[in-house]
Structure 1
């Protein structure tokens, strides 16, 4: 399924683009922000397939935001939206799929979304990993995914939790999300869990859920937004 980021400082435009993009059956999630800095923050936490960015946004314009995003997420595809042609040459620095002028031609916009979705869904998928390299004190070893309960983002580090041990790895949750098999779900900006190890999900009443696991007292957390999206995945 496809995740889209929309960046535009006009609420009406954001809502319109969000509504049109959501009509594509392959689009599962849409994030809408009003400036370039917010767009970058979203990509730090989420896997974004398509970024639809207005160029003339406050704090950080769409082109500068796209340059940062393309380094963090090389596979993200860009469409720039603007009222001016002045930036067209500058936008080519991130090899955008297209450059749409306001007022937006809705049929052209729909065609762009459909074409991008088709190109992404038809790309061959990378095979998922079954082992991961971790550091154990001064040694490096291979750990089977079957042993892992969850991954946790702690400050700038990523911690791997098993029943008995914790390990540090040099990959972000976003990088892991693209490599892990379907047993692992991103349930929070700071957690990816192994659903095979999950025992219980408890509503904490503060827009979050606590996740308990089999064979350990360790817990993780799920955001309410993710719970609404993923609740059908859990069968206990």
Structure 2
């Protein structure tokens, strides 16, 4: 499968640089450029691309305006917003952007857009449950013994110093596993590595909130309204897993 791309940016150097980088991607079939918002809308209607790289700040129509127009004209189009200013990140996510790039462009980040595009195109096949999988529980260390909980009772897991703690509605419990081991064991149960020190159960997330430097927090569905950090590198994949 190949991809058709439209790039909209009123700055010629940025437009040409991104056209070059996307042209190096093996499965990109065509790259068409536009120097403004209205031209971007026309190009999208003419080319029917799979992906639109859209500058947020253009003189005739802003990236937001273009995205709002195309939401009606081309509802299946995936949009990657690009800008030199990271304060536009929140607007980009509110507009359900597929991805968000900061200028100057990084070759690896551009390549990551297409890796995620390929991943989004592959249907996820649920893993068959192991025999007796409905009774599988996680062993937590408690005073005088072991407490067993279903994965659905776990809200998130944190690494604090040398200790890994499993957080449930009943408290935080140490476990004898590393965070990486728990990531592998709990992957079939809807857990996601959102930060180098955190795993979170996707069903326990109620809100994604912007923080600083492109990082985000997620709010957990518990009485304390706990927030868990999300590294910038994980935000896009997290949204793909959370959203319809």
For normalisation by structure 2, the TM-score amounts to 0.47
- Superposition TM-score, scaled by structure 1 size: 0.48
